[in-house]
Structure 1
Amino acid sequence: MKKVYYLKTCSTCIRILKELNLPSDVVLQDIKTEEITVKQLEDMKELAGSYEALFSKRSKLYKEMDLKNQNMEERDYKHYILEHYTFLSRPVIMINGEIFIGNSKNTVEAVKKAL
């Protein structure tokens, strides 16, 4: 399976999708209009190793809620990601059992090789 969880309103996500020139068999899910399900998040965690790896600490809400100064555990990361889409580090790209998280240059290059 090939799937991308992204935000249609995020210019970085859009730039990466254009750069990747994804094949037609890749399923795109705009996480703002189609919320992530518990099952989808658990599948991501299975590949990523932890919910924390999927969690965006650059999120505006992360700063506003002062989560940096709280002792967060895996269940907290899961809760916040499911509560609000902005907590998912974007984009999350799943290709044939591999997961690629975020928008770093190395991640984008790794996705290109996996495609």
Structure 2
Amino acid sequence: MPKMTFIERNGEQREVDAPLGLSVLEVAHKHGVDLEGACEGSLACSTCHVIVAPDWFDRLKRPSEDEEDMLDVAFGLQKTSRLGCQIVMTEALDGLTVSLPPSKKAG
């Protein structure tokens, strides 16, 4: 089974099983990783924002215009930011590494 690694907000790395056909958001929820996904993958929010490791970013299919629009409002946006609900696990993504962005704290 493919694996992927989440780098949590505290820097801890968690390698988990990542079943084929599940999104990064679904994999996170399956393993109790703190990735919100408020819209449940319907591309109506940016709460499943992840930062893809640079060596993996170019292996992903390009984001849709709708995903790019949602990323525009994501907190902590970086060059390799994507929405976890839009990255679906395939054999080619075995070993994928993503980081969770810093938490947005209410001030």
Indicate whether the TM-score tops 0.5: no
Which of structures 1 and 2 has the larger relative contact order (alpha carbons within 8 angstroms, sep 6+)?
Answer: 2
Larger radius of gyration: 1
Higher strand share: 2
TM-score normalized with structure 1 length = 0.31
TM-score normalized with structure 2 length = 0.32
